[in-house]
Amino acid sequence: MEILEAINRKLVDSKAKRYFFVPDPVKLIVKNAPEVTAKIRSHPTHDLGTREVKTKGTFYVDKNDVKESEEIRLKELYNVFIDKIEDKTAYATFSSMEMKGKGKKIQWVTEDHLKTRVIRSHGLLKDNELIPLEIIDGLLEREGEKIKEGEIVQFERFGFCRKNEGIFCFTHR
């Protein structure tokens, strides 16, 4: 399977636009956050266009990406320091606009997002029982409205997916 995925990745990587998808979201409220319009490339090395996202200091990020007392980089935006986490909300303080942050770079979406479902078909084993299908509900950036039926895209740090009848089917990493 790994060889097949590597071949498939070579075939689609240069053509697949990138999007921010947050699979297990928590709200992130950033104190002293500047209002910024982020200009984000749709592909890191090929000219597939750009998208603009207006930010106001409230985001959704994957819960596994935030830990108290750590600095993180919101990809293509700015750095924040996580002050505390309560329930499904993380509270942070804006730290800098510098592109080279100390922490990991993570994808994010604003409050203007799309609820999205990804179906992943594989032979998962859980407690020695085969689970052939996994459903992952998450949040996709608003620009995801423009993804056409049948189009293959990459959800950053998640994997390649194909849109099929409004739902995304995971294809590979």
pLDDT 10s digits, 51-91: 999 999 999 999 999 999 999 999 999 999 999 999 899 99
Structural domain spans, the chain? 2-16+112-172, 22-110
128: CB partners within 8 A, 6+ apart: none
In CATH, what number does 2-16+112-172 get?
A: 2.40.240
**Mean pLDDT (the chain, rounded):** 90
Paired residues of 159 in beta bridges = 155
Class of domain 22-110: mainly beta
Same fold, 2-16+112-172 and 22-110: yes
| Residue 23's pLDDT band (cuts 50, 70, 90) | very high
Q: How far is it, in rounded angstroms, from Cα 70 to Cα 56?
A: 21
